[in-house]
Structure 1
Amino acid sequence: MVMPPPSGPPLRVVLLLVAGLLSLGPHAAFAQVEPDTSTVEKDVERSLEDLDAEDVDPTPLVELLEELAANPLDVNTASAEDLALIPALGPALALAIVRHRQTSGLFGSLPELQRVPGITEAIYQAARPYLTIGASLPAREQRPSPYPPAPSLRDIFSGLRFEAIQRVTRRLDLGRGFDDDTTRTTYLGSPERLYTRLQARYRRQVSLNLTLEKDPGEVFEWNPDTRTYGYDHIAGHVALADFGRLERLIVGDFEAAFGQGVVLWRSFAQGKGRDTVRPLTRFGAGLRPYGSTEENRFFRGLAATVRLTPDVALSGFASRRRLDATLFDPDTTTGLTETGLVSSFGTTGLHRTPTELARKDALLETLVGGDLTLTLGPARVGVTGYHATFDRTIVPGDAPYQRFAFRGDEAAMIGINGLLPAGALTLFGEVARDPDGDVGGLGGVNARFHRDAEAVILARVFPRDFTSLHGFAFGERNGRTQNETGYYLGLRVRPYPRWTVSAFVDQYRFPWLRFGVPMPSSGYEALLLVEHRPRSWLSWYVQARTETRDTGTEVLDAGDRPLDALTRQTRQSLRLHGDYAFSRTLRLRARLELVRHRKADRPTSDHGVLLFQDVRWLPRSWLQLDARLAFFDTDSFDARVFAYENDLLYTFSVPAFSGRGQRAYVLLRLQPGRTLTVQAKYAVTRFEDVTSVGSGLDETPGNRLREIRLQIRWRL
């Protein structure tokens, strides 16, 4: 597909920008109410809007925030680990809430949270949608029990709540992978994405879940030979929580996240973004039931956490599940075989073609592990470890950049993590060691200089031969806990009541080669964000971001022979975003984003521009309509632009745009009763001056891509 040279945004784009920005002007006759945008939407967008979904699937985060909003945490019984899941709080404030509860008694109302040191009115308002207080509250002076009471079977059966979700999505313009041509490779299945979830819950203490999904192109069939039982992906669990000393018991699929993620973090974790301080100080939630659609980052088996004393928690888990992998036999001509060695792990979860289907469940992993966490006054100290075995030997390729990749049929890791609040400071860190004696870790300090000023400093050291298969620590390559060192400084200040300034600087280095980078390399990234909320119905922000890093290239020597070398590339972006509420029923949003990408070995830079206008309309309490019209114009894929979109419940969409064109969508939500919610989304992307879109089996003739999504949720 050949892209035409850009000629700048057309006149209609400029007119749309002017109209959108003018709509942010003062209209006192209308704008006297709070925008209806939910906190969940804001938190999800803040976390995901700059995320490349090809690197990591954030679906579990979306589902977690929706779950917290639907089932708020009781501030008088929730653990520090659960409270730390709320984006506005984080570890230090979560521990402060628990300490206040233990020393001063139970909270009589949610506003009393502002008595906890460090919780400002802004933090309280941001955390409020995720919190509640139990119906029967003891006297305020009464000290809470260290162990939450277990519900009776009668209470469970009488209070059980059921939820069923059915979702269907489909591209209307299909790629050549769905052709009927039998002479070449095509997708085995239909173009629909199917999703079914059945769940029964009693408060936050009992959870039964079954999640089923089929991706577009995957076959829907019952075939035990390929371990396909109708849907391609099946996840389920039975879980108990807060049953006296039994803090958690999970049978089935589960996540495990401890410490700072160096040893073990099979869950989603936020990296660098608009929140420049709080995501850096992690506080692993421990063991949690899993029921999402991400097909790689979870365990399957038995897991439990027991409170030996109020200050000592012991977790143990065992998992046995099959993973996707590419098999290779060096003794065969083609190399591909059903028996042999593993050259790489599968990461996409897609099984649409015979080649992809051959990777499905090709590797069996058996893992046992545990964690011991001690609460020593305000401090937390934990020891985490695991041992895993594989039924095949893992032998990566012999390319130079793969020299230090994991190889063998056993993996193990042990580490110690700690978190120490000390007045205005919170120290945190984790150090881990593998069986070969390789040591890696990170450490940092979070400092609260004032109620409205906070900073974090973090350093990480992950040597080239340090391999944490199940870790997901913070880094430039967020989650790839190997071959990286770096220093991060983040700052968040409220110089005036309605102004917030955030910034970060991250300097990093890769001690060994990477894919596409033929020698050790380095880079740095910085962000500056200024947010202003002059009225309850009006807010805007300006964000500037830049990143410079080494990338691979070729140069010619004196004899015109190509040599591998490094060159510098820089990507810069500037964003202006505004949010305006005319009334409780009508809200507008507008954004302009400019991108510049340049490589040192090229004479010119590539540019990109994104402009969109959003409308949210609520004509009735049971009806909500979201719509967007967006224009994009980029010189290349390197100058691509991202835009978070509103989507169906428990889903997300952050499409990347390159080339020149328009994007529009309409999202309709109907709630005719308390138990039924129906959603539908129609989206279309049109590209200018092209005859096809995409590549490979996804190459689609024409210049447009259309998609429709439908979802029904029934709650009882």
Structure 2
Amino acid sequence: MLRCYIITITLTYATLLSYAQTDIGDPVKRAVEYTASISEDKVDVEELSSIFEDLLKNPICINDSIHSKLDKIPLLSDFLIQSIKDYIKEFGEFKSTTELHFVPGFDLELVSIISPFVTTTSSEKTYLTLKNLIPTRQSAMGRSTYTFQKAKGYKDTTDNQFLGNRLHYAAAYNLTMGTNIFINIHSEKDAGEKAPLKQLYFDNFSTSITAISPIKHVAKIIIGDYRINLGQGLVAWAGFSMNKSGDPSTIRKRSSITAYKSFDETSFYRGIATEVDMKPFTITLAASNRWLDGRISTSDSSKFTTYTTGLHRTQNEINSRATVNQQLLAGKISYSNKQNSIALNFVSKKMNKKGVQDLEQAFSLDFYKQWKKYSLFGEFASDNNLNLASLISTASKISSKATISASYRNYSRQYKISGNNAFGENSNATNEEGFYIGLKIIPKFNYAITAYADMFKFPYPKYRVSKSSNGSEVGIAIKGFLSKQIEGRLRYRYKTIEQDKKQNPPTFSQTETIQTNKGDLYLKFIPSKNTEITIGSSVSKYTPESHSSQWGYLLYTDIQHSFPSTRLQVYARFTTFKADSWDVAQYNYENDLPGMYASASFNNKGNRAYLMLKIKTRKRLNFWAKISQTFYALPISSIGEGTDMIEGSKKTEIKLQATLDF
């Protein structure tokens, strides 16, 4: 009887949910934007979209509570996963994903976001056999970008001259064989690069072969390019990460090895990685041998520098190509028992260029313990010189509508491991101590409130700070559905840091406190299933003690409309902006070609407009075309800097893409 009542009410809520979803809504785009909105740092949008695209093709069963893979969804916290298991235990298996409305901890927006990536149908676990390699699924993608204005590098006559044409293009091919084998091939040529026929007119190639459960006890094998993430990011983390999040329920990281599918040419390893599952033990091993771009330091011949742009346009860039050898050996052994786990992680990374070597070694202890309403997790790490780094966090489910999290971090100045990405203010876990506390409340199902505070200090000098310094940050956000047809978010952040004063001539003897205020608002109106209208704004204020305040603002209007009879979808946006300096530059995510979902940055004063079309000619063939232009109102003579500088006050770009599933 209770089950029938729940299903009846679920249909009512599903009607409400349908208002929040339109025919033109891209579930991957919505998930990427939602995830990016709760992160206080920039995220790898390309990799994040790849994660959700894989989930869209292979939804995770929410009824499989024993061998749950729900932790593969970045938006689901440990408490939400446990709430799903508790719901199944009390009411039985889900009959529909819309029943997530009744699971404690979920709000309307989160349910609408994750619904396309989960299913109620369980797939039987199978090992690799010839029979299981059928059926096969294939997909191909081609993408091209062209900027009409010519950059300075094309006109240069020195070793900084761009040797190739202005066309950027990329291609990808994916083959899925049954449920066990996944093959990915990616290739790209950046604008300005010269790619001869012997390279098939591409400058870069990336390949990976993934086998899921090929034999008993082997969960995964990846041959080719991959990423490895261990613990809480203190020893190795190459993939997507929300270092500091406005949503306190998402601060815990989860270890993984994943095939590399991004067009970024640097943040991956090349070799073999495997995960062996011998419950209650799990063993992960990874080995890599690849070449990086770099050169010997001009000021110190005993050191070298590596480059992460992946660009090979000029003779200087080509001379630095693949000159540094990097060898990696990493892994972990973990023990899991119900809701508890403990793991020992290790990383050994050696880089060599013409006899100049750099060796990094680190190991860590990563742990997780969950009670019914509480959890404790963290990581203790040490490098080969016994320099320490530690992160301890706890989360508590105060009620069915509220979660609170707290985290303490202490990273030694001498602890320097490249490629880590732990929770904190810095991009690398070193020279930092801090305490974070966050709260998430869902007063009603249709909206949620998140708030956080972070206090941190840097015990020793760092970039742009010549002495020890302190800082703090607080933020609050309210987001949800104001009505059946209106969705919105209001967010505010306040931050203080200490930096050396900007003086002429430069001096590093005096520091000052800098205050930053940031706020943003957006409202999305859904008048029909075929139309979305969004208006948004953001404002920033940067106030150093020694100078007057600097301001920046951004306003935009976004319209999306679908013409079902012609299979045409139209996306258009107009943005106006003003920023006194890069300290108050405005950042905004916008619709882009699938897999890109770009984040645009705006400085000075001007406007930006774009128009994007999607045409679905056949059931499995799609075309996209986007034209955009940024034009500045202030009297400026150029855009950009260095070899990428464009003369004039406008930049016009066109992008084309086609995808085929077969």
TM > 0.5: yes
Change in 2 beyond 3 A, CA 1:130/1:568: same
**Cα deviation, residue 43, structure 1:** 2.5
Residue of 295, 299, 304 corresponding to 2:265: 295
**1:164-211 per-position Cα deviation (integer Å, ceiling 9, x unaligned):** 0000011111211122x4257321222222111011013552101111
Residue of structure 2 equivalent to 1:574: 519
Q: 1:377 to 1:47 in 2, by over 3 A?
A: closer
**Cα distance in 2, alignment partners of residues 52 and 89 from structure 1:** 18
> SS at 2:250's partner residue?
helix
Amino acid at match of 2:274: A
1:237 to 208, 225, 231: 208
Q: Residues 255-270 of structure 1: matches in 2 within 5 Å?
A: 255-270=227-242
How far apart are the structure 2 equivalents of 1:125 and 1:350?
39
Structure 1 position 101, deviation (Å)? 7.9
Distance 2:251 2:338 in 1: 23
Q: Residue 306 of structure 1: SS of its match in structure 2?
A: strand
Give how far 1:561 is off: 10
In structure 2, what is the Cα distance between the partners aligned to 1:496 and 1:110?
20
Q: Go from structure 1 to structure 2 and tell me whether the alpha carbon gap of 1:316 and 1:570 turns closer, same or farther (over 3 Å shift).
A: same
Cα distance, 1:426–1:342 mapped onto 2, change above 3 Å: same
* Distance 1:78-1:627 versus aligned 2 partners, 3 A rule: farther
1:664 paired with 2:609, answer yes
Confirm or deny that 1:152 pairs with 2:129.
yes
Deviations 1:491-526 (A, max 9, x none): 111223333211111111122222222222221112
Distance 1:104 1:262, change over 3 A: farther
* Cα 1:542–1:704 shift into 2, 3 Å: same
Q: Match of 2:186, as an amino acid?
A: T
CA shift, 1:681, in A, is 0.7
Is the CA contact 1:91–1:283 (under 8 Å) kept in the aligned structure 2?
Answer: no
Cα-to-partner distance string for 1:2-24 (whole Å, 9 max, x where unaligned): xxxxxxxxxxxxxxxxxxxxxxx
How far apart, CA to CA, are the structure 2 residues paired with 1:169 and 1:522? Answer: 43
Comparing 214-223 and 609-618, the one that deviates more: 214-223
Q: Which amino acid aligns with 1:192?
A: L
Distance in 2 separating the partners of 1:38 and 1:88: 17
Structure 2: stretches of 5+ with no match in the other structure: 1-16
Counterparts of 2:287 and 2:367 in 1: how far apart (Å)? 24
CA contact (8 A) 1:35 1:536 kept: no
Q: 8 Å contact 1:343–1:394 — kept in the other structure?
A: no
Report the counterpart of residue 59 of structure 1 in structure 2.
46
Aligned match of 1:322: 291
Cα shift at 1:465: 0.2
Q: Equivalent residues in 2 for 1:494-505 (5 A)? A: 494-505=442-453
Q: Letter of the aligned partner of 2:223 in structure 1?
A: V
Q: Give the aligned partner of residue 355 of structure 1.
A: 316
SS across alignment from 1:41: helix
From 608, 616, 621, the counterpart of 2:552 = 608
More off after superposition, 684-693 vs 44-53: 44-53
Quote the Cα distance in structure 1 between the aligned partners of 2:218 and 2:65. Answer: 14
Q: CA deviation at 1:329?
A: 6.0
Give the aligned partner of residue 275 of structure 2: 305
1:387-417 per-residue CA deviation (whole Å, 9 max, x = no partner) reads 222223898xxxxxxxxxxxx5221111111
Secondary structure at the aligned position of 1:672 is classed as strand
Deviation (angstroms), 1:543: 1.2
Q: CA offset at residue 592 of structure 1?
A: 2.0
Could you tell me how far 1:623 is from its partner in structure 2?
1.8
Provide closer, same or farther for how the CA distance between residues 423 and 648 of structure 1 changes in structure 2, counting only shifts above 3 A: same
The equivalent of 2:5 in structure 1 is none
For 1:507 and 1:80, locate their aligned partners in 2 and report how far apart those are by CA, in whole Å.
38
**How many residues of Structure 1 are paired with residues of Structure 2 in the alignment?**
641
In 2, Cα distance between equivalents of 1:113 and 1:585: 25
Shift of 1:82: 4.2
Aligned-residue offset at 1:464: 0.4
Distance in 1 (alpha carbons) for counterparts of 2:538 and 2:103: 39
Matching residue within 485, 488, 492 for 2:436 = 488
Please tell me whether the aligned partners of residues 631 and 650 of structure 2 are also in contact (alpha carbons under 8 angstroms).
yes
* Distance in structure 2 (CA, Å) of the matches to 1:196 and 1:669: 18
2:169 to 180, 183, 194: 194
The residue type paired with residue 464 of structure 1 is R
Q: Match of 2:241, SS?
A: coil
Is the contact between residue 71 and residue 204 of structure 1 (CA under 8 Å) also seen in structure 2?
no
Report the RMSD for the aligned CA atoms in angstroms.
2.9
Q: Which residue of 2 aligns with 1:174?
A: 150
Aligned equivalents of 1:582, 1:173: Cα separation in 2 = 39
Counterpart residue number, 2:61: 74
Alpha-carbon distance between aligned partners in 1 of 2:602 and 2:388, rounded to the nearest angstrom: 40
Paired residue secondary structure (2:509): strand
Conservation of the 8 A alpha-carbon contact between 1:95 and 1:378? no
Partner of 1:162: 138
Q: Is the 8 A contact 2:249 2:403 kept in 1?
A: no
Greater RCO, 1 or 2 (C-alpha within 8 Å, sep 6+): 1
Q: Deviations over 1:585-629 (max 9, x none)?
A: 111000122221111111x21111211000000111722111001
**Aligned residue identity for 2:293:** D
CA distance in structure 1 between the aligned counterparts of 2:226 and 2:297, rounded to whole angstroms: 30
Cα displacement (A) at 1:49: 5.5
Q: Which residue of 1 aligns with 2:12?
A: none
3-state secondary structure, aligned to 1:42: helix
Q: CA deviation at 1:318?
A: 1.0
Check conservation: 1:49, 1:654, Cα contact below 8 A.
Answer: no
Following superposition, the deviation at residue 462 of structure 1 comes to 0.9
Other-structure match for 2:648: 702
Q: In structure 1, what is the equivalent of residue 19 of structure 2?
A: 33
Tell me what 2:250 maps to. 279
* Distance in 1 (alpha carbons) for counterparts of 2:136 and 2:278: 29
SS, match of residue 618 in structure 2: coil
Matched with 1:646 is: 591
Q: Distance in 1 between matches of 2:258 and 2:21?
A: 33
Give the C-alpha shift of residue 116 in structure 1.
Answer: 6.9
Please, which runs of 5 or more residues in structure 1 have no aligned partner?
1-30, 138-147, 396-407
- Partner residue of 1:12? none
Q: Is the 8 A contact 2:104 2:401 kept in 1?
A: no
Alignment partner of 2:483 out of 535, 538, 544: 535
Paired with 1:342 and 1:52, the residues of 2 have a C-alpha distance of 34
Quote the Cα distance in structure 2 between the aligned partners of 1:163 and 1:324. Answer: 31
**Higher mean displacement: 430-439 or 241-250:** 241-250
1:90–1:713: structure 2 CA closer, same or farther, 3 Å change rule? Answer: same
1:24 match: none
CA 1:112–1:540 in 2, change beyond 3 Å: closer, same or farther?
Answer: closer
In the alignment, the residues of structure 1 paired with residue 223 and residue 18 of structure 2 have an alpha-carbon distance, to the nearest angstrom, of 50
Distance, in Å, in 2 between the alignment partners of 1:341 and 1:79 is 54
In the TM superposition, what is the alpha-carbon distance from 1:79 to its structure 2 partner? 8.6
Letter in 2 for 1:65: F
More displaced, 501-510 or 657-666? Answer: 501-510
Asked if the contact 1:258–1:265 (Cα under 8 Å) also holds between the matched residues in 2, the reply is yes
The percent of aligned pairs where both chains have the same amino acid is 24
- Measure how far apart 1:109 and its partner are: 5.0
Deviates more, 1:689-698 or 1:576-585: 689-698
User: Contact conserved, 2:182 with 2:211, CA < 8 A, in 1?
Assistant: yes
Counterpart amino acid of residue 564 in structure 2: R
1:451 aligns with 2:400: yes
Q: How does 1:409-448 map to 2 (within 5 A)?
A: 409-448=358-397
CA 1:343–1:308 in structure 2 vs 1: closer, same or farther (change >3 Å)?
Answer: same
Q: Deviations over 1:678-703 (max 9, x none)?
A: 11111100101223222221221221
8 Å contact kept, 1:416–1:432: yes
Matches of 1:204 and 1:570, distance apart in 2: 52
Give the TM-score, by structure 1 length. 0.83
Report if the CA contact (8 A) 1:646-1:652 is conserved: yes
Match of 2:77 in 1: 90
Paired residue secondary structure (1:671): strand
